[in-house]
A and B are shown apart, each in its own frame.
Chain A
């Protein structure tokens, strides 16, 4: 079945450092890809998404590009802030169109930013 693999955490960086969180996927169809963020004590928030190959999703300084050839969707940010400390989940949606909306999540990467 479809699956998502993302880099193990925790990841600890200093403020203003460059961030990359790797994510690769396995899918039989043409999934949409997402990054969700979970702050302590809260539910998931959609950070960004891409629905087809070569799409770039971006939000709050974060970016990720849908790479079909490498089946990857790595998350990047040029300069992280303490407020970015959270758990980040890479995810895909099974099926395209209206056939399904089940989301498969990666295991999550905990990010801690030092002041």
Chain B
């Protein structure tokens, strides 16, 4: 069974640009969550999607957005990139929301560097 797939693995952008990251969940998983990992702030929750609807959102500015498609694949978009957006962006999938017996499975992440 294939794991969570994130593309691309590495990305270099400049300030002011926008970027779109992609996440394909494990087959059959319908919930997708996104996290930002930085040395200073650690792992922070961005948002969660289920059935093409955003169910939960972390404390990030509106420049960060996402969406989910009918096949459960998800994308996140960051507009007007800032140097502080440099991070490892991790996607996680689970069968459905609620982690009691359905832990989230993480992809290897997309490392975004802003010049």
Report A's interface with B, CB cutoff 8 A: 32, 34, 36, 41-46, 49, 51, 89, 93, 95-108
A60 to chain B minimum Cβ distance, whole angstroms, is 15
| Binary contact track B83-115/A, C-beta < 8 Å → 1, others 0 | 000000010101011111111111111000000
Inside 8 A of B6's CB, which chain A residues have their CB? 43
Taken together as a complex, chains A and B put the C-alpha atoms of A34 and B35 apart, in Å, by 16
Inside 8 A of B108's CB, which chain A residues have their CB? 41-43
With CB as the reference atom, state the residue of chain A lying closest to B46.
A102
Report B's interface with A, CB cutoff 8 A: 4, 6, 31, 33, 35, 42-43, 45, 48, 55-56, 58, 90, 92, 94, 96-109
* In contact, B98 and A101 (Cβ under 8 angstroms): yes
A105 with B43, Cβ < 8 A, contacts A42-B108, A46-B105 known:
yes
Interface of A is mostly: loop
Contact of B42 among A36, A41, A105 (CB under 8 A): A105
* In contact, A107 and B42 (Cβ under 8 angstroms): yes
* In contact, A102 and B98 (Cβ under 8 angstroms): no
* In contact, A93 and B100 (Cβ under 8 angstroms): yes
* In contact, B98 and A95 (Cβ under 8 angstroms): yes
Taken together as a complex, chains A and B put the C-alpha atoms of A99 and B99 apart, in Å, by 9
Inside 8 A of B101's CB, which chain A residues have their CB? 51
* In contact, A100 and B97 (Cβ under 8 angstroms): yes
Taken together as a complex, chains A and B put the C-alpha atoms of A68 and B96 apart, in Å, by 26
With CB as the reference atom, state the residue of chain A lying closest to B99.
A93
* In contact, A101 and B97 (Cβ under 8 angstroms): yes
With CB as the reference atom, state the residue of chain B lying closest to A108.
B42
Inside 8 A of A42's CB, which chain B residues have their CB? 108
* In contact, A101 and B94 (Cβ under 8 angstroms): yes
* In contact, A46 and B97 (Cβ under 8 angstroms): no
B37 to chain A minimum Cβ distance, whole angstroms, is 9
Inside 8 A of B102's CB, which chain A residues have their CB? 101
B47 to chain A minimum Cβ distance, whole angstroms, is 9
